[in-house]
Structures are given as C-alpha cells and as structure tokens.
Amino acid sequence: MSTDTALTVPTRFVEAGGIRFAYRRWGKPGGPPLVFMQYFSGNLDDWDPQVTDGLAAEYDVILFDNAGVGSSGGETPGAVSEMARHALAFSDALGLKMFSVVGFSLGGMIAQQLALDHPDRVNRIILLGTGPRGGEGMTFTELSAEERADPDRFLLAAFFSPTDVSQAAGREYLKRLAARTRDRDLPVTTKAAEAQLHAIREWGAVPSSDRYATLPKIKHPTLVVHGTKDIVVQPVNAFILAEHLPEAQLIMYPDSSHGAQYQHAELFLKHAKLFLNA
C-alpha cells in the first residue's frame, strides 16, 4: 500500500496529444488499474473519498480531468466520442494497456463509448447514474451551466432524494468532499460546462432507428448502479442498459437520487468489489 489517500495524493500531470492532463493516482501498487470518469461540471475533488479510498485498498485508482476540465489543458469537446478519444490518449500516456472504468453520468457515457471503440483496452465497466445513447429523457433541456452557482445546493438537490435520511447522507458527502484542503483542483469553467452539456445532449438525442443498437456490442462485464429516485437520469435508463448490455448486472438503491453510490457508499463498495473481483 502507498501511504497516499484521496486527501493527500498530489495532483500530477501527463502530456498526451498536445494536452496536459491533470490526474491523481494512488492505491494498491500493481493492483488492477481503475480509471474514473467524472460527471458534468465535476472535477478531481468531486469524487467521494470514501469510495475512492475504499477502492484504492485493492486497486490502482486513477482520477483525471478530461480535456479542458479543471486543471487539465486543452479544450473540452462538444461530443462524447471526442471525450472518449481524449480518455484513451490519457490512458496511453500512463502506459495503461488494459484497465477497468468507473464512469459516473457523463463519465458513464464516455466509458460506454470507449468500450465500444476500443474493446480490447477495457476490462470491466462500472456505470453510475448514467444511460444509453438515445435513452429516456436524456437531453436535459432544463439543465444549464449556471446551475453550478451554488454547488452544495445543486448537489443536495440533484444527488440526494428529498427525504431526511437522504439529505443527511448528502451533507455527510459534502463534508467528505471538503475534507481535502490543499492542492485542490480548479473549478470547471462555464465554457467547459457548456461544451459538456452539448456532448450530453447529443448523446441523449433519440435516433430515428436502431435506438439501442450499440449496446449489444459492449460485451464487457458491466455493473450498472442507479438510484430508484434519480431525478437527473431517469432510473429506467439503468434498466434499459441491463436489458441490452449482454453482461450487465444491475443494482438499484432505494430512496436515492443521482448520488446513489455515495448515499450507500459502504454497500456500494462491497457490491463493486464483488463485481470487480469476480
């Protein structure tokens, strides 16, 4: 074990394809690499330390800011396919031959695209609070880059359900996110967030035919995790993923919204390890 934790691991940089990517890497040396792909407007600091440290006990945990996000250089593209290309370039730069992916929301879209485009590079996939290309209600017409003006309020409203139990879990989550005090990441710019939103909306557009045709081509063992009360990505999208991905296991947690895996962090860690170690 390295002595680093989510709170102390330094932010490092690696150059790939002319882009300087910010990343943090810690965990079990020589353990199976696990690359984390973040949600709309999230940066390195927005991964729950309870989850990343929990996985770092057994895996080589790698968080990164994609192009144009947080402390990374380059420009955020307006398409998921380009984001997947950047993610691969970053992985190449770290010398990762094969890795598992944890993709949350937008990150889950990138993970699907990456697995589709480069099946031999991806081992296992964990999809958190995400949906298929052309899923149900995934054009997010109500979302805007300005929603992030009050991030704590945004997270409590979007990631947690209105119940007292869920809101209390949300406040604990916010505390965990704030616990890293030094070497914090840069905020995601409005320009980057707008490009991400463009990419998400393009992903969410319902095609005129063969709506879920790409899913059967993603043959990787996949764990789909969702909240039964997710108000950002409708829960039915997780069900659709499980129906169409040939090797998907689906787990849904009760009374939880977009941050289901953080509200139920302890149980999620156990489920994720059972899946990753299978």
CA distances from 261 to 44, 99, 172 (A): 17, 21, 13
Among 245, 265, 272, 276, binds a copy of itself (CB under 8 A): 245
Among 46, 116, 228, 231, binds a copy of itself (CB under 8 A): 228
Q: Which CB sits closer to a copy of itself, 150 or 247?
A: 247
Q: Which CB sits closer to a copy of itself, 191 or 270?
A: 270
CA distances from 43 to 1, 67, 188, 205, 258 (A): 25, 11, 7, 25, 16
Q: Which CB sits closer to a copy of itself, 32 or 254?
A: 254
Report the C-alpha gap between 106 and 37 in whole angstroms: 8
CA distances from 160 to 237, 241, 253, 262 (A): 18, 22, 12, 9
Task: Name the one range near a copy of itself by CB under 8 A: 9-17, 41-49, 72-80, 243-251.
Answer: 243-251
Minimum gap (Å) between residue 13 Cβ and a copy of itself: 39
Residue in this structure with the two tokens 């879209």, named with its chain if needed: 109
Question: Judged by CB under 8 A, does residue 243 bind a copy of itself?
Answer: yes
Task: Name the one range near a copy of itself by CB under 8 A: 119-127, 175-183, 200-208, 266-274.
Answer: 266-274
Among 47, 173, 253, 262, binds a copy of itself (CB under 8 A): 253
Cα atoms in the 13 Å half-sphere on the side-chain side of 57: 11
Nearest-5° Cα angle at 254, 271 to 148: 95
Q: Which CB sits closer to a copy of itself, 179 or 274?
A: 274
CA distances from 139 to 144, 157, 195, 231 (A): 11, 19, 14, 13
For the segment 85-124, give every residue that binds a copy of itself (CB under 8 A): none
Residue in this structure with the two tokens 């905020």, named with its chain if needed: 187
Q: Which CB sits closer to a copy of itself, 10 or 162?
A: 162
In the complex, the residues that contact a copy of itself under the rule CB under 8 A are 228, 235-236, 239, 242-243, 245-255, 267, 270-271, 274, 278
